[in-house]
A = this chain, B = another copy of it.
Amino acid sequence: MTQAPPPAIYSLAVPRFVGVPTFMRLPYVGLDAVAGHEVAVYGIPSDAGAPFRTGARFGPQAMRAQSIMLRPINPYRGNLDVLGTLRVCDAGDSPVVPGYLPETMLRIEAYTAALLAAGCLPLGIGGDHSVTLPELRAVAARHGPLALVHFDAHTDTWDAYFDGLPYSAGTPFRRAAEEGIVDPARSIQIGMRGTLFKPTDISQSIDLGYRVVTTDEALALGPANLARAVAERVGDAPAFLTFDMDFVDPASAPGVQTPEAGGPSAREALAMLRALHSIRLVGADVVETNPLYDGPGQVTALLTATIAAEILALIADTKRGNGKTPAGGG
């Protein structure tokens, strides 16, 4: 059956600065109109979990404002027409409640669940990393325990932050393992680097069952081998890809919540994403973009949008390869 390409505004006809920016100039639709789209890109503007730099609540807007520089064809997967292959929309933002992290998480879970219920694969834009836990809850409720493909400078598997309270940007992947919504045996954490709070900051993830690949190891493997390792680890499990922008070096991503000196460049990070294949994604997010720390060039926001577009390309490539619609909520 044929389908019309999404009516993204065409930047050769209408200058990019004309009109309100939505993700890649795609239609901006409410929950009542997301049905019929295969992928819903949506903002999750919460920084309630930020232990230090705050402002990621403005991440979705900043990402959108730079995403208008992106174009629909991806040359890294054979001139793939991403927006012609996939029906994608900008599904607005999840509600949040500033100052009330547990309440905020409930709303994020509900919004993600609504997108899934409408048949959309949810692609979230953070927000700090605490937003991923409610996303995972909603996606796992539909698909069962998830394989996690996690790019980040930090494991985010600490037990608690600040007086033992359970939720923050530093704890979601311990909680997810405890809750059984992620299957660590199918999961991989990539990019850890920098100084540690405790000698166990890395081993605590391994103890939970995750595979951990440090930045140095990931770069030594190279994109192709790393992609192979990911594919082997994930297998045919339903997978969730979460990309914390602090995975990338601060030179390429100064506008993040917890910058860690000495990471991969933007080119190295993109090459890793472009090499991924054979993953059955059922959800994804890109998080921790903080435009208040990003400088006038907004290079972090642009890279965030580019990474979101590469994740879309991976989903479209999978669809092209197997002729099946993405497993959003199907």
Point out residues on A near B: beta carbons under 8 Å.
10-22, 28, 43, 45, 47-52, 54-55, 57-58, 61, 64-65, 69-75, 79, 81, 90, 92-101, 103, 130, 158, 160-163, 165, 167-168, 170, 193-199, 201-202, 214-215, 249-252, 254-256, 258-259, 261-267, 270-271, 292-299, 302-303, 306, 309
Contacts and interface: CB of A to CB of B under 8 A. Distances in A.
Given A13-B163, A19-B43, 8 more contacts: A73-B199, A81-B199, A250-B299, A252-B261, A254-B297, A254-B299, A259-B299, A261-B270
Contacts of A195: 70-75, 306, 309
A158 B12 contact: yes
A196 B259 contact: no
B266 A261 contact: yes
Contact of A61 (B21, B81, B215): B21
Given A97-B162, A249-B252, A259-B302, A52 B17 contact: yes
A309 B19 CA distance: 20
Contacts of A199: 73, 79, 81
A94 B48 CA distance: 18
Contacts of A306: 194-195, 261-262
Contact of A98 (B81, B168, B263): B168
A220 to B, nearest CB: 12
Interface centre among A99, A103, A202, A264 (most CB of B within 10 A): A99
B198 A73 contact: yes
Given A74-B195, A251-B266, A265-B251, A20 B18 contact: no
Given A58-B17, A99-B101, A195-B309, A251 B299 contact: yes
Interface centre among A61, A201, A262 (most CB of B within 10 A): A262
B254 A295 contact: yes
A298 B158 CA distance: 26
Interface centre among A64, A74, A250 (most CB of B within 10 A): A250
Nearest to A162: B97
Contacts of A258: 69
A298 B254 CA distance: 8
8 contacts: A11-B197, A12-B161, A13-B162, A75-B193, A215-B267, A249-B266, A261-B302, A261-B303
Contacts of A18: 43, 45, 93-96
A199 B84 CA distance: 12
A314 B215 CA distance: 21
Given A266-B251, A293-B297, A20 B19 contact: no
B255 A297 contact: yes
Contacts of A255: 296-297
Contacts of A51: 11, 15-16, 98
A51 B13 CA distance: 10
A252 B254 contact: no
Contacts of A193: 75
A71 B254 CA distance: 19
